[in-house]
Structure 1
Amino acid sequence: MSRIAIIDIGTNNFHLLIAEKQQDKIEILHKSKVFAFIGKGGIHSRIIAPDAMERALQYLQNFKKIIDTFGCEEIQAIATSAVRNALNGKELINLVKSKTGIQIQVIEGEREAELIYYGVKSYLVITEISLIMDIGGGSVEFIICDAEEIYWKQSFEIGAQRLLYDFHQNDPISQREIEQLNAYLEKILSPLFEANEQFLPQALIGSAGSFDTIVDIYCAENHIYNSLKEKKEFNMPISAYKQIHQQLISKNLEERLKIEGMTAERAEMIVVASCLIDFIVNRLAIKQMRVSAASLKEGVLWEWANKKI
């Protein structure tokens, strides 16, 4: 028997997953997340702001207390966009190491995309060539794949925190801002469009985060039981997504907070995240949207369980 604690240090969220392996069986013992927002106030200056540094340390100290109660033999703490791009990222790494003993590993975007793929495919069967999309606060990962392999992957520094700062100054977001955002995406995502023409993915698989929130809204508004966590995936009708998207872009923050299924932590960034999803759905003529509950941390778990790291 062995136990691992996996910490995903994202730009918006910190996740903790604790699992146990007995022979070939993996059991998840604990899952929790906090909205740390370490990109807030500094992501465009490529720094982690002092208050964000304090929040990060506090949340990781709390995670360490939880980890200690489970007696984990191994801790893997993975940091992504906010830390890898911050000029003072090493300061946070050193601070956390000295105060908690946790050694943070900063990974590149390509590696992040690979782990997301492992996580998603451990939760659902990828029956055809598909496009996985993971929207973080700092970066967005795209992976074209099937159940057997990755055909193409790339990470773009166009996360929701960055897009919010650049393209969502009016609330509700203006049509001009949406047009400017779409023009920007058309330019920066050209490698994705080329890969799409080559591999022709048949479905979009949304990985956790903003996709979870869209499923929450759909289920709450239609009084449907949200089986995402139990079944590990949810088939989201494109027409229903489009209706939710129109709500999100037509309401201000106060109005969005009143939407059934919306969380306060997501209400600000969900607009630009949905604009990004809508752009991809339209640009790639997506006909099927699957939402997976898994992401990076589940990919780390999959690798650990299969003894690849």
Structure 2
Amino acid sequence: MTKRLALIDMGTNTFHLLVTEVTEQGQLKELYKTKVPVRLGQGGISSGAIAPEASERALRTLRDFRKTIDEFGAQTVRAMATSMVRNASNGERFVKDVFEQTNIEVEVIDGAREAELIYYGVRAAGVLNTDSSLIMDIGGGSVEFILCNQHKIFWKQSFELGAQRLMDKFFTQDPIPAESITAEKAYLDERLQPLSEAVAMYKPTNLVGSSGTFDTLCDIDAQRKGDMSRATATPPASVLSLPDFYEVHNELLTKNHDERLAIPGMLEMRVDMIVLASIAVDFVLQKYGLQEIRVSAYALKEGVLHQMLAGQ
């Protein structure tokens, strides 16, 4: 018999809901998908607590998600919370509030598990092969790096260096000044020492960007070339050439908020954070000499889904 599953990824910036049906043959049929800019980290990420306004936005969104889940009749609901909730002094209280108001049990996952689930999601998108790849997933609170190929994970780590944290630290003027770019890169160089050591050992040849920022970079690149196909459906796997990435990157650095918002393909929820995220991508490409960017539209929730189907 078919069964319906709902997956919720409660990120620091964005909440995602995926409702899917598994047929008797074990095939997946996507029924509903949405993302909401909850900004759970806004006003509290630097002080280590979820702000009241952010908590209310999150609870309102999850009440809406609950209605949608019930409308589709999903029997199983899996909700994962990541960086903001796991680090917040009031994270446990928030999880209790969610359960009381929505009957959704939230799993607060640690950084290592988050990285592992992202790997399974990216692998399902078909962007990995036998080459050594470096997956980068830029969230609002944390960034996950996974060194891997299609068969296995060699190394993984989550760093609390997400775009909201970088924004609070370095985005003091708009457009971002050259000294802030330099400061962010120096900060990343210092904080990503463990990654640098692992890269030296496993020698990845390409960067695999996992959803979020990377999807938006691809959307902007496609619309710049007059390709509107991504506006209706995002393919699981894409390629973003380095020259194309740098065209978009340089545009992001020289424009202010309103000018960035006017870029075709830009999402309002990413309009500021994408500046800090793009600088981080540039840093990783240059530091580790990576010559190719592949993009996976699949990430954490798809990883959870494929692990569930595999019975893990």
Normalised to the residue count of structure 2, the TM-score between the two structures is 0.96
Which deviates more from structure 2 when the two are superposed, residues 192-201 or residues 254-263? 254-263
1:144, CA displacement in angstroms? 0.6
Alignment length (residue pairs)? 308
**Residue aligning to 2:140:** 137
**Residue aligning to 2:211:** 208
SS of aligned partner of 1:44:
coil
**Residue aligning to 2:23:** 22
Sort the Cα spacing of 1:167 and 1:230 in 2 relative to 1 into closer, same or farther, 3 A. Answer: closer
- Post-superposition Cα deviations, 1:184-213, rounded to whole Å, max 9, x if no partner, equal 011100111111110111111100101111
SS of aligned partner of 1:87:
coil
- Does residue 1:179 correspond to 2:201, yes or no? no
Q: 1:245 aligns with which of 246, 249, 270?
A: 249
Aligned AA for 2:255? K
| Residue pairs, 1:118-129, within 5 angstroms | 118-127=120-129, 128-129=131-132
1:261, CA displacement in angstroms? 1.3
1:29, CA displacement in angstroms? 1.4
- Does residue 1:218 correspond to 2:221, yes or no? yes
SS of aligned partner of 1:248:
helix
1:226, CA displacement in angstroms? 4.0
**Residue aligning to 1:161:** 164
Give structure 1 stretches of 5+ with no counterpart.
none
Normalised to the residue count of structure 1, the TM-score between the two structures is 0.97
1:239, CA displacement in angstroms? 0.8
**Residue aligning to 2:50:** 48
1:231, CA displacement in angstroms? 3.4
Query: Does the CA-based 8 Å contact 2:127-2:295 persist in structure 1?
Result: no
Query: Does the CA-based 8 Å contact 2:134-2:208 persist in structure 1?
Result: yes
Which deviates more from structure 2 when the two are superposed, residues 268-277 or residues 230-239? 230-239
- Post-superposition Cα deviations, 1:206-250, rounded to whole Å, max 9, x if no partner, equal 001011111111011111244594531111010111111111111
Instruction: Quote the sequence identity (%).
Output: 46
Aligned AA for 2:116? E
Aligned AA for 2:288? L
- Does residue 1:254 correspond to 2:255, yes or no? no
**Residue aligning to 1:34:** 36
- Post-superposition Cα deviations, 1:61-113, rounded to whole Å, max 9, x if no partner, equal 00000101121221111000010000001111111111111111100000000
Q: 1:104 aligns with which of 88, 106, 109?
A: 106
